[in-house]
Amino acid sequence: MRNPLLVMLDWWLRRYWAADPARLGAALRGTPVTLITGASEGIGLALARRFAAAGHSVVLVARRADLLEKVAAELRGSHGVEAIALPLDLALPDAVERIAAALAERQLYVDVLVNNAGLGLAGPFLNHDPAEIDRLLNVNVKVATALMRRFLPDMCVRGRGGVLNVSSLGGYAPGPYQAAYYASRGYLIALTRALGFETRGQGVRVAVVAPGPVNTRFHARMGADNSLYRWLIPAGTPEGVARAAWRGFRWGKRVIMPGLLAWPMALAMHVTPAVILVPLMGMLLQQRGDDARR
């Protein structure tokens, strides 16, 4: 039996929705799935486990086919749901079209979109190869936006489903020495809030989760493990982030901040004058030791 409060919440989320017979049939054609990008490890893997445990069939997208197949097999065995591995480099120009084609071929439609894939770059902006910056913007900004534009309209036609974007607490501040990454996270927070307002009452949940540092391989990959923030700011776990994200998404929250320190830190970044905040962030994010010389 469903929680009566969730039933009431679903009714409230659909308060302006009206069925459109001309479009509804096509939008409901196929089997609903939750599409999760960056699902092979870290927060994406933890979220995949959460959605599968709740009975969602999942389509998992990431670059490494071996890891994806392993995760898909685990979810099928543990939760008895359909789990499809879709190995794909999201930085490819036609990544969104490839995803849409793969779903259509299998007669699936996206009921929930989880934009979790993200790339980071640490170090001075002027030291980054332009191709690396383009790749980051493609994955963190362009593809996330294109996936929402592709699948959110049909969610509104159906009057259910939603989008869960995985951003970062860093999206609330400029980030010297991780400048492009922090800017991309701020974009995703702002876009989510705006789309949540635009689609209010249409039955869809549009949320963004903004965790602080999380103990995954993400920081090491971009060469930031020796930065001061990794030593000063307590890091969460992927499971903790996924738990908070799932709970907040289910209850219709727009912005989800896991952990006790997240809201105070976001507020502090919001009210601190830029003349203080930007140098402070630079001190926290600047690489030290071997990473600083790369």
3-class DSSP state of 37: strand
Candidate from 149-163, 188-202, 225-239, 267-281 with smallest mean pLDDT: 225-239
Residue 185 is encoded by which pair of tokens? 């996270």
Distance CA 112, CA 26 (A): 17
Q: What is the pLDDT of residue 294?
A: 47
Predicted local confidence at residue 290, as pLDDT: 52
Residue 115 has pLDDT above 90, yes or no: yes
Q: What is the DSSP letter of 139?
A: I
Question: Which CATH code fits 4-293?
Answer: 3.40.50.720
Helix (H, G, I), strand (E, B) or coil at 263: helix
172 is catalytic: no
* Choice among 172, 177, 181, 182 that is catalytic: 181
Torsion of CA 168, 128, 191, 29, to 10 degrees: -100
Q: How far is CA 88 from the centre of its chain?
A: 17
Per-domain residue ranges of the chain: 4-293
Matching residue, tokens 């009975």: 55
Q: What global pTM score does this model have?
A: 0.94
| pLDDT attached to residue 293 | 47
The owner of tokens 């609903």 is 32
CA distance 50 to 201: 26
**β-bridge pairing 58-62 and 255-256:** unpaired
**Do residues 89 and 139 make contact, with C-beta atoms less than 8 angstroms apart?**
no
Place of tokens 């203080």: 276
The Cβ-side half-sphere exposure at 232, using a 13 Å CA radius, reads 9
Tell me the pLDDT of the chain averaged across its residues. Answer: 94
Neighbours of 145 (CB within 10 A): 16
Buried b (16+ CB within 10 A) or exposed e, 155-165: bbbbbbbbbbb
pLDDT tens column, 6-59: 999 999 999 999 999 999 999 999 999 999 999 999 999 999 999 999 999 999
H or E segment and range at residue 163: strand 162-166
Q: What is the mean pLDDT of residues 186-210?
A: 98
Which residue stretches of the chain are H helix? 4-13, 21-27, 42-53, 65-79, 95-105, 130-137, 144-158, 179-198, 218-221, 229-232, 238-250, 262-271, 274-285
User: For 93-100, what is the mean pLDDT?
Assistant: 97
